[in-house]
Chains A and B, each alone.
Chain A
């Protein structure tokens, strides 16, 4: 502690800028970790909170995936003696079109019995209205709002709220206002309650419910209730406590959460290199100080503890600042995440506030501080090893010892060799990931050597470009590789991440483009929402005939695509008229014969699996798929596997007639519309909207609109890449500023001499700039190379471990083309302040240095 106060504090004061920059590495890492994770957790918490609040006193919930089930299930459930209360529920989102208010989550219930499960705490004054369910039930336009939503929009009892329904845009009358708190806080307060039978019409549910909430008789345990319900209803129904929905949502967001976690952990990992660099530099700069301390009797342990103590303090301060900054990031990221999740999965979220988990913040603090300490381990060890006599020998320490270099190279070669050995054994996944890790280790071990070699290679062109400045800059890098290598390593890792992520984006986009071209080929799509992924409302089956009668329409393909759990994955079940689709869509076959696949599947003699699902659940041609449906188990063989990107976790294609029979659901999510030759899509759209638009909520999208929508979703998903580009840029700036500051400090006398013998300020400035550019170039070369390898591993992991999608390896030249100027610009920008400090320093002081 005394050493920290007497030795470390003055050093920090003297090198305040660099200390701040060192800490900035941790700040950035922790901020991203906290920001991304908090945003992710906030979205999940908001969902769970909504589920919990809406569930009320329900102990169990009966669901059958997104498909819902027939009304008659309710009476069967109510007949069980274990059941105290069984309340049917429909949940859907509605857009009231109020500026800045977002969507309303409509909870549709049967008010005659729902109060046995949910507390409806109404405001005073409307007791006579809402406490009288008769008017509420008798009038299908009845709506209850929360006080928060009503207050925000100045809506009172009797006020009107309009939203699109399956019967066109309709006005609803507010007949009750829920008091704040409890259920009223669900969905960020944007909650509306209506009668379930009215909602069946409003949202096109036919005579179906989405789920039944269950209260058990006193003395009946959850297990007993679950067993009784499972026995009664069969395997097609899921019977889980309300928290089960939260778990399903989490599994739906699995890939997204994984991407967020990897990115944030990577940011922290990169921060570690910045700390390492700073401490490595600090050790070299403070050699004489260490020597004196050692000469005065300080033990090696005390020196090591001094540096580790410094890193712990820096880590603690950086982590605290990072947590604060991360919470600011989280506010922005939470909104972005919620928007993206809605576009991708159709799960609307109203994340009212960022959820701060003190436990996680402590974890982030510990991670930041721990990372800082780990990063300082090697510099601290090196500091402890310094002999007092060695401390007087300036300059020697910067050169990599031949032995050290050889050892690193040998270790790197060993790691690389092991990584290559792991490649053919990748089927055993731990070995695949070990190979990935070994590749990274090899790359990091080789960084100093490669940096040195690249600096040597760069010397000639730099000298050719600017004889004096170029040579001086290159020599600076060659003479002090350790000063540069950690910065290069940090830059390399962050750029590798960007290249890897960008590569995945490019590969996905190419596959998506191919899929869109072959599969999404109807002239137009008719959906109940502008977001094709959202299936809150559905069309009645009868609408198909109405559409077929529209002039210009050649063929209509009704599609219902609920999500359901299959082998533990949230897959999409696409039910349509497969013969029709087979005639219109040329499939990218993975296994099976397309003609027989379409024939058998359309005759209900088999199902078609997407390639990714087949890979994930290890099902092959001829294997039996077992689907638990409300009408019992549906067992059909796999008659073909195809490339399909409708769903990240895979798709099962089932003939519509079989779906209708087994799931007792004939509603439609999307109509695929093919036009007669020569028919104008715009004109037909106008006709459809004119004929049906007033009766129903519908969005008629032309093929190009859907393509644009898919492209938008992909952009949102890969928006993460842009965040990473920003991080890479910040890493570049931080690392380069740090390195150059030290470089200039180390070379004050050299630069002073240069100026004394007639060197121009512009030449010195140019030297610093060229050094920065060289660091940027070395980082770019190594980062792009590492990224190219990383991309291979990422694509393999996506195919075998995450979503089963086999993307072709495509190097992201576009991202690289963007990175080169960005990083060089960042490097030059980072050099401005150090360069100015180099030219503005006092010549006398510089010459007196040492």
Chain B
């Protein structure tokens, strides 16, 4: 009897694996937009419960492995004008540059520095990358409800070609709208960051989480990002997503 169960499980495995990738692909297909723009409000709550706030304006052209994004900080006054350019690639890690207007300099964020925190938030630089579906191996490990919404639980491991601080990402994708409800990122089998996506709304036909809460499980601090004035498929120019544009815009 036991042997029969194992046999069934073994035969079912390729099907489940296929399903996992299909689910992620479907999730990405449903969330895909040619461009995106929003104003983000960040609230970082430190382990000592001290709260700091920042806001930025985000523009993105393209989607997933072929996208480019620029984040311009707008508040507080000390950081206004600081910008980050992220150029995602389908086959490798993204390139990132930071622009600091006060010294008129851009700096490249090295690949090896992607695991560091993104400017005091609980996101890392890597968390700002958009993941191409081909850069990971997927496995459906079960089903589980997140905030009462039934979800598929899928594990994603980066392929060898992908440089990532995470050895494993576990994601929960809602069955009703294919929006990821939660991610848990692991380093050497230890969970280090948890991202919860809430307040899911349909914006221009795309189901989108308007509130992202990321928790640094080691530091015990959390960052909440609220997406305001969110728009999809707006006209954006390719030229605005270059290092030269960062310099020019100041």
Given contacts A84-B112, A127-B50, 12 further A-B contacts (CB under 8 A): A85-B112, A85-B113, A86-B112, A112-B109, A116-B113, A131-B117, A132-B44, A132-B119, A134-B120, A138-B81, A139-B78, A198-B103
Which secondary structure dominates where chain B touches chain A? mixed
Bound together, the chains give a CA A132 to CA B53 distance in angstroms of 11
When distances are taken between beta carbons in the complex, the residues of chain B under 8 Å from A138 are 73, 78-79, 81-82, 100-102
Nearest B residue to A77, CB-CB:
B110
- In this assembly, does A115 line the interface, its C-beta being within 8 Å of a C-beta of chain B? yes
Known: A112-B98, A116-B113, A127-B46. A197 touches B105 (CB 8 A): yes
When distances are taken between beta carbons in the complex, the residues of chain A under 8 Å from B46 are 127-128, 131
Bound together, the chains give a CA A335 to CA B101 distance in angstroms of 43
| Nearest-Cβ distance from residue A600 to partner chain B, whole angstroms | 40
Q: Which residues of chain B (204-225) have a CB below 8 Å from chain A?
A: none
Evaluate contact between B112 and A113: CB separation under 8 angstroms.
yes
Evaluate contact between A112 and B107: CB separation under 8 angstroms.
yes
- In this assembly, does B233 line the interface, its C-beta being within 8 Å of a C-beta of chain A? no
Chain A contact residues (Cβ within 8 angstroms of B): what range?
20 to 34
Sample (21) of A-B pairs whose CB atoms are under 8 Å apart: A75-B108, A84-B112, A85-B113, A86-B110, A112-B113, A113-B112, A113-B116, A128-B50, A135-B78, A135-B79, A138-B73, A138-B79, A138-B81, A138-B82, A138-B100, A139-B102, A140-B100, A140-B102, A195-B103, A198-B103, A201-B103
Q: Which residues of chain B (41-83) have a CB below 8 Å from chain A?
A: 44, 46, 48, 50, 52, 54, 73, 76, 78-79, 81-82
7 residue pairs, one from A and one from B, having the closest CB atoms? A132-B120, A113-B113, A134-B119, A197-B105, A138-B79, A140-B103, A138-B82
- In this assembly, does A110 line the interface, its C-beta being within 8 Å of a C-beta of chain B? yes
Evaluate contact between B108 and A132: CB separation under 8 angstroms.
no
- In this assembly, does A713 line the interface, its C-beta being within 8 Å of a C-beta of chain B? no
Give A contacts to B, CB under 8 Å: 74-75, 78, 83-86, 110, 112-113, 115-116, 124, 127-128, 131-135, 137-140, 195, 197-198, 201
| Nearest-Cβ distance from residue A559 to partner chain B, whole angstroms | 28
When distances are taken between beta carbons in the complex, the residues of chain A under 8 Å from B78 are 135, 138-139
| Nearest-Cβ distance from residue A595 to partner chain B, whole angstroms | 46
Q: Which residues of chain B (165-186) have a CB below 8 Å from chain A?
A: none
When distances are taken between beta carbons in the complex, the residues of chain A under 8 Å from B103 are 140, 195, 197-198, 201
Bound together, the chains give a CA A332 to CA B101 distance in angstroms of 48
- In this assembly, does B7 line the interface, its C-beta being within 8 Å of a C-beta of chain A? no
When distances are taken between beta carbons in the complex, the residues of chain B under 8 Å from A74 are 110
Known: A128-B52, A138-B78. A113 touches B110 (CB 8 A): yes
When distances are taken between beta carbons in the complex, the residues of chain A under 8 Å from B120 are 128, 131-135
| Nearest-Cβ distance from residue B106 to partner chain A, whole angstroms | 9
Interface centre among A85, A124, A131, by most chain B C-beta atoms within 10 angstroms, is: A131
| Nearest-Cβ distance from residue B95 to partner chain A, whole angstroms | 11
Evaluate contact between A78 and B82: CB separation under 8 angstroms.
no
- In this assembly, does B9 line the interface, its C-beta being within 8 Å of a C-beta of chain A? no
Bound together, the chains give a CA A333 to CA B79 distance in angstroms of 48
- In this assembly, does B245 line the interface, its C-beta being within 8 Å of a C-beta of chain A? no
Bound together, the chains give a CA A769 to CA B125 distance in angstroms of 86
- Cβ-neighbour of A137 out of B76, B98, B110 (below 8 A): B98
| Nearest-Cβ distance from residue A133 to partner chain B, whole angstroms | 6
Evaluate contact between A78 and B111: CB separation under 8 angstroms.
yes
Bound together, the chains give a CA A115 to CA B81 distance in angstroms of 24
Q: Which residues of chain B (85-125) have a CB below 8 Å from chain A?
A: 98, 100-103, 105, 107-113, 115-117, 119-120, 125
Bound together, the chains give a CA A112 to CA B120 distance in angstroms of 10
Bound together, the chains give a CA A195 to CA B105 distance in angstroms of 12
| Nearest-Cβ distance from residue A321 to partner chain B, whole angstroms | 55
Evaluate contact between B54 and A112: CB separation under 8 angstroms.
no
